[in-house]
Structure 1
């Protein structure tokens, strides 16, 4: 008889693990607290507009290809991908903007226009970044973080110095143009830490950006989720929504069941893809691996203030993805990481999928997704949300040289309180735990409980870290550990 696996949560990591385990013969059931599957990658649909509520960047297409290939499939079996050109547009102080196009050759030209000889430096930097990518993404991140020896390979020994330098130091030693520096430091923000705290080795994110490009699944990132659900169901995975897990029950040191709406659901193995901190609160305190002090000391990736806005006209001077770096990055970073508070002048990001994907907004309309990175755990009120929408929309009008406020049909917001309510997110963080040197690989919370047999974890707070591709990998890694511990 097949061993039963109960999976808590239905984000990317949970869905990946569900398919791997079902493929190997386990009887898998997924329990999602919300009405829709997908975790942070749900969609909001309103008045003919469609918004991805969370992840909006499709980077590292090779990771998605590798995931589906494990099941004899390809991404195109489930969704259609477009490579964006331009990949994104960056706005700077004074109305200056730089457009990042879809090939390295075009990007070299754009850099050279801003700073003489920068294209040669960029080529050298990207060559190093590609080398790091080949080591990290094709090898290191597919290791489960159970031992520091996983990081020691002939390739990483040669790169040892890059684990002690920082992205910020590397970039600033080669490039002098402030705008180019910000563009090169931007990708590591996906890792949840300041460039000055991010090891040089993580320059592989720059190769993911410039070398592999930015893609868009037609219909939005949720189409990837739908594809993964379809794959899982074809393998026999069963899904339960509106199923909030209240407790993980342990008997004689072994996970035996979960409690949902007061009813026990027995299981041989329990895997939680929900927030790691929250998942441990579902256990009696003696079975928790990490104390509240442990979590308090960790560096968490930012939370976010998000706005989903319907506009009653087509907008101009924008691209699918847009970054607004017209204010002091260092000041905003301090307000996130050093002395947490609402930033006076925040950087922000906006996407308009309707620029390239007409079906995500009504005809002659635009859908706008705006994101302000914030410190997790800060105060969140309706008044603050409104104040900051006014701040960024006023700047957006100025930088894009158009009036848009009177064309807002509606706006919905999502912030710290919602991340806590909807996802049980620790302090309302949006991206998990930052990938700093002391929070990398085996130094992150473990995939397998050291106190409860049959209890496992996956997702952005464990290995390999924050982001959608790492979440897919996390699901594969934890399923491998389960198979090793509980062979059928």
Structure 2
């Protein structure tokens, strides 16, 4: 099979699709605008400190394993995985919840907070496991072409769980606001408020409590390095510093792409870049979705990120740390209902050097701070400084230590950077949210309806935001392409 496929972008979904397509015998080339592969999964290495500047949570290890198994490989052929124990800490204003690495520990912690809560927790997670088995083994493996994909014996008998929300289900079973926040947190990875996310998506709670939180030694970028190695071993050609300026179409069929001013002929074009941006590479008459369409979608948050090198080891922290010492609901409103810079933001801090000595010089700490914010907000140096001061002061107070004088350097990344580095619509960080009206066939299509030979993959299409779904998205689109071209 000599058909040529040009892939725009080199994130998880693009690398996934490239591997599957090359395995089927296609001539596959990837074109990445930045100097390194990985899309939003990149690394910052500075003065001996290593930061994952994109994804930092390794959940759903089974999906990564299945991906490599499809090529008669294993994750262990490429990187070493450690299960984090504890998985993470949640800091509240008057207490700290520690999430252990198995259910018995987690139940003990829930009982400490709310007597009797372990029993409904075990039932909730059992139901979440049921949802996980259906979602991961059946629902997300559909290409989002027809609503009938969702009509199965498994989904029909659980149809109410698509119309109830995570928020409603959690509040039925738990009364303590700290436990409620703990159980609502995982669906934030899907990019929407718990009150707008179907209860079926509680499968994220099983991913959290049931499957655990892991860390690839050397950081999340080790996965990208592994996928690149696999892709190249299958014959994929990867071009970096290669900006795609146009998707070329003649008589309703793609003919190739224009890269750095030069035409590259292609039988098939697949874009793993931001979907909205990808369509701007087409003449207007070939675009499927209008600006009004994109403006009405619910997007996952953007983020204000700080990469901080500390010249000492820090106290009372874990690898992953959530700071929920302010109003969860109010911050969510500031992201989704009335988009603005939050007055009292929740934030997340990742210290990979707690468990992985390779990620910081001896006696030092690598710190990755993240504030979720609404996409499209004003982004200035002054605002970045203001919000770092807010969170570092709270961090010092909640962990009972002084750290500001121990900062060797600090770099930031926000809305402007998501736009300039990734052509991200409104500077979103996680794609388009998985609300009920933006699930499966209701998301932007994997296959263009207007251009023959043009396909899309990634967080704005099927199945949705997150690293594991991006791996699946690459597989789904490769199957559509192969089915059309066999």
Fold agreement, TM-score > 0.5 = yes
2: distance between equivalents of 1:230 and 1:143? 27
Count of residues in Structure 1 that have an aligned counterpart in Structure 2: 486
Corresponding residue for residue 37 of structure 2: 37
Corresponding residue for residue 55 of structure 1: 55
Structure 1 residue runs of 4 or more that deviate by more than 2 Å after TM superposition: none
Corresponding residue for residue 389 of structure 1: 388
1: distance between equivalents of 2:392 and 2:143? 43
Q: CA deviation at 1:287?
A: 0.1
2: distance between equivalents of 1:255 and 1:61? 37
Q: 1:243-262 CA deviation, whole Å, 9 max, x = no partner?
A: 00000000111000111121
Corresponding residue for residue 70 of structure 2: 70
2: distance between equivalents of 1:76 and 1:181? 36
Alignment of 1:68-467 (within 5 A): 68-94=68-94, 96-467=95-466
Q: 1:373-427 CA deviation, whole Å, 9 max, x = no partner?
A: 0000010000000000000000000001000000000000000000000000000
Unaligned residue ranges in structure 1 (runs of 5+): none
Corresponding residue for residue 485 of structure 2: 486
TM-score normalised by length of structure 1: 0.99
2: distance between equivalents of 1:161 and 1:338? 25
Corresponding residue for residue 27 of structure 1: 27
2: distance between equivalents of 1:9 and 1:78? 22
Q: CA deviation at 1:29?
A: 0.3
Q: CA deviation at 1:138?
A: 1.2
TM-score normalised by length of structure 2: 1.00
2: distance between equivalents of 1:297 and 1:137? 28
Q: CA deviation at 1:486?
A: 1.0
Q: 1:158-179 CA deviation, whole Å, 9 max, x = no partner?
A: 1100000000011011101111
2: distance between equivalents of 1:160 and 1:258? 43
2: distance between equivalents of 1:113 and 1:224? 37
Q: 1:435-486 CA deviation, whole Å, 9 max, x = no partner?
A: 0000000000000000000000000000000000000000000000000111
1: distance between equivalents of 2:462 and 2:134? 16
2: distance between equivalents of 1:103 and 1:396? 27
2: distance between equivalents of 1:113 and 1:89? 15
Q: 1:106-155 CA deviation, whole Å, 9 max, x = no partner?
A: 10111011101100010010010000000001111011000000001101
Q: CA deviation at 1:319?
A: 0.1
Unaligned residue ranges in structure 2 (runs of 5+): none
Q: Give SS of 1:34's match.
A: coil
CA-atom RMSD in angstroms: 0.5
Corresponding residue for residue 18 of structure 1: 18
